Amino acid sequence: MFNPPHTLAGPRHVAIIMDGNGRWAQARGRPRLFGHHAGARRVREVVEACPGLGVKYLTVFAFSTENWKRTQAEVAGLMSLFRRYIIKETQTLKENGIRVRFIGDRVRLDAKLTALMDTLEEETKDNDLVHLTVALNYGGRDEVARATKRLARDVAEGHLRPEDVDEETLPKYLDTRVLPDPDLVIRTSGEARISNFLLWQSAYSEYEFVDTLWPDFTAAEFEGLCRNFGGRERRYGAVPA
């Protein structure tokens, strides 16, 4: 794609903590799940905006390892929403060049849902327009712990020497091993926390905390944040030349 010389590069990988669904619903006197359904519609809008903004990778935090602490009704409602979303969107995602991956621990998820996740990954594996990663039963510390377990197993089995372990080694064992690190992490709903999201991967990411509740987050706001990113200088700890 042609880029005029004055155009600063936008983010290639954007990760989003989609927060505020519950408050959005509450403000309308509706159950929390009403907010989650409205939030799911926003995911589609943001995915659609990605190609036009040069965003090749989009990662969204759909369910955290801590979210099991919510009421059983909310957890069950979210799981059912994920199943229905996958069933409803598979064809559209496939036909529109979106490659979907899931990160997180699948062990606690029900078999029906993991089967749908596997099928969606398989059905979209040849797509390359936008790489959408959905974090489901994901926690950054849990991911690092699971990665370390795999790494330790490789050491125990003699495939890896402890002296060869460096900063490049651990990322190869993370759920995100095939993804670049996020350039920009957005969190909605006014909370300025990273809540265990992509802890290792976001070491050098830019952060944007916006007040908008996720169901109100529009493609236009997403575009504004991506353009804003283009205006920043990232130095990775170095002094500018």
3-state secondary structure the chain: CCCCCCCCCCCCEEEEECCCHHHHHHHCCCCHHHHHHHHHHHHHHHHHHHHHHCCCEEEEEEEECCHHHCCHHHHHHHHHHHHHHHHHHHHHHHHCCEEEEEECCCCCCCHHHHHHHHHHHHHCCCCCCEEEEEEEEECHHHHHHHHHHHHHHHHHCCCCCHHHCCCCCHHHHCCCCCCCCCCEEEECCCCCCCCCCCCCCCCCCEEEECCCCHHHCCHHHHHHHHHHHHCCCCCCCCCCC
Show the binding pattern over residues 130-169: x = contacts ligand FPP (CB under 6 A), - = does not: ----x-----------------------------------
Residue 39 lies near ligand FPP (rule: CB under 6 A): yes
Those residues whose C-beta lies under 8 Å from the C-beta of residue 108, and which sit 6 or more positions away, are 68, 137
Out of 14, 15, 16, 18, name the contact with ligand FPP by CB under 6 A.
18
**Closest residue by beta carbon to ligand FPP:** 22
Residue 227 lies near ligand FPP (rule: CB under 6 A): no
Show the binding pattern over residues 67-96: x = contacts ligand FPP (CB under 6 A), - = does not: x-------------xx--x-----------
Residue 21 lies near ligand FPP (rule: CB under 6 A): yes
Q: Residue 11 or 104: which CB sits closer to ligand FPP?
A: 104
Pick the stretch among 13-21, 101-109, 150-158, 200-208 that binds ligand FPP (CB under 6 A): 13-21
Out of 11, 14, 16, 19, name the contact with ligand FPP by CB under 6 A.
19
Please confirm, yes or no, whether 110 is among the known catalytic residues.
no
Pick the stretch among 46-54, 60-68, 140-148, 221-229 that binds ligand FPP (CB under 6 A): 60-68
- The partner residues of 131 in beta bridges, in order of sequence, read 57, 99
**Least distance CB 44 / ligand FPP (angstroms):** 9
Please confirm, yes or no, whether 196 is among the known catalytic residues.
no
Residue 97: what residue type?
A: G
Residue 36 lies near ligand FPP (rule: CB under 6 A): yes
Residues near ligand FPP (CB under 6 A) are 18-23, 32, 36, 39-40, 43, 60, 62, 67, 81-82, 85, 134, 189, 214
Q: Active-site residue numbers?
A: 19, 67
